[in-house]
Amino acid sequence: MTGMGRASGGGGAEAAPASQQGMRRQNLAVVTGAVAAHGPLSRADVAGHTGLTRPAVSSLVDELIGRGALTETETAPSGRVGRPGRALALNDRGPAGLGLEIGVTHLAACVVDLRGEPRVWRRVERANAGRPAGQVLAEAAALGAEAQAEAAALGLRVAGRVLAVPGVVPNEPGGLIGHAPNLGWQAVRPADHWPDRDTVPEPENEANLGALAEQWHQGHPAETFVHVSAEAGIGAALVVGGQLFRGARGFAGELGHLPVHPEGARCACGARGCLEQYAGEAAVLREAGLAPVGDPVALLAERAGAGDAATLRALDRAGRALGLALTSAVNLIDPDALVLGGAYAELADWLLPSVRAELAARITVRPWSPEAVRPSALGRRGPVLGAAWSTVRSIIADPSRLPDRQDPEEPA
């Protein structure tokens, strides 16, 4: 994956060459960021937004066009005498991000262009729990290769790959998936199983990617929020002051194992009364008297929409347990918002009343609005979108990492 690294300037005469290189790198990012935020823009407009001189902007823009980050096209005729104007925009036929996702019951792939627009979608249903990690990763790689080939036919070149997984990804180099209990994985490195060493993705926790996707999708996102989602397990991500909070070792966000009934049912993790035993997918299906076949979330939504009493009771129970757990999160980190993502977003019509009621009854030491709890508009696509958008965000933050020439016919 293209990194997010920031340019850093040094002091003193000995550091001058590195400082000049760092300054140009930073200015490339400034220009790309201006076009991303305000484009299409003329070169003069870019100078106005960035404070850079027009000659500097012209040189930087030429380099960015050469790297494939920007395109420059003629604008519509203005009716004025003279040459037509030209406008800069992010290239929709250049570098792109490939997001991959391994879920307990599916595999997914998504390619987005530099504008953040999804151009390729792939999803296949797979029962991945308990299967050998190497087999699942090989199938994910094959799905990613199909998505990349389709993207190449659209003129897109994959510049980075990120893999969303339902497990802990520690804060350490090497791309380790530390523990993915609902898959049955322990200490798995995708690089050890990926068929093509040149296309190994960077793994990341699916809840973290869902939260980042939510943050990037919103025009005016909350600075501090909790994003909680569910599939077989329950994951949460904390965005604090606009930054993803991972914890000391990358284990932050294990909301599913927060005890809501300390003497309750035994959880697969070994503890008792964890939230997953009351608001996880398996628990809701069991309470509703439904078998875990096909797409369980769609089944629950269909039965709830039809007014099935057992399903409505199960979702009410899950919402109350989720509200109880989220009360602790609110009192601990004082967020602006709570966002229900993943399966919870698609079941929000039936979960939100009991979640909001539980929060209203228990949050007494600070102001709290029921509207602060809301469903994500991204639904179950959040993690794979976040994975794809991660590369795009990294390119915009540091376009100097792109090669000088972008050719979609060459392998990425």
The pLDDT score that the predictor gives to residue 181 is 85
Tokens of 393: 């965000």
Amino acid residing at 293 = V
For residue range 295-304, list pLDDT tens digits in order. 889 999 999 9
For residue range 350-395, list pLDDT tens digits in order. 999 999 999 999 998 888 888 899 999 898 999 999 999 999 999 9
Among 185, 184, 367, residue whose Cα is nearest residue 176:
185
Asked if pLDDT for residue 16 goes beyond 50, the answer is no
Contact 91, 70 (CB under 8 A): yes
- Using CA atoms, how far apart are residues 296 and 106, in angstroms rounded to an integer? 12
For residue range 143-198, list pLDDT tens digits in order. 999 999 999 999 999 999 999 999 888 887 778 998 888 899 999 999 999 999 99
**What is the band of 9 on the pLDDT scale with cuts at 50, 70, 90?**
very low
Among 387, 404, 408, 395, residue whose Cα is nearest residue 90:
395
For residue range 196-248, list pLDDT tens digits in order. 999 999 999 999 999 999 988 876 567 899 999 887 789 899 998 888 888 88
Asked if pLDDT for residue 410 goes beyond 80, the answer is no
- Using CA atoms, how far apart are residues 160 and 282, in angstroms rounded to an integer? 34
Tokens of 77: 């005729």
pTM: 0.85
For residue range 70-127, list pLDDT tens digits in order. 999 876 444 555 555 689 999 999 999 999 999 988 999 999 999 999 999 999 999 8
For residue range 247-264, list pLDDT tens digits in order. 888 778 888 888 999 888
The pLDDT score that the predictor gives to residue 406 is 52
Contact 90, 36 (CB under 8 A): yes
Output the average pLDDT for the chain. 87
Tokens of 272: 């008792």
83: which residues sit within 8 A by CB, 6+ positions away?
none
Contact 229, 247 (CB under 8 A): no
Q: Is the dihedral of CA 4, 345, 261, 368 positive or negative?
A: positive
- Using CA atoms, how far apart are residues 384 and 122, in angstroms rounded to an integer? 10
37: which residues sit within 8 A by CB, 6+ positions away?
none
**What is the band of 411 on the pLDDT scale with cuts at 50, 70, 90?**
very low
The pLDDT score that the predictor gives to residue 159 is 95
The pLDDT score that the predictor gives to residue 75 is 65
- Using CA atoms, how far apart are residues 321 and 315, in angstroms rounded to an integer? 10
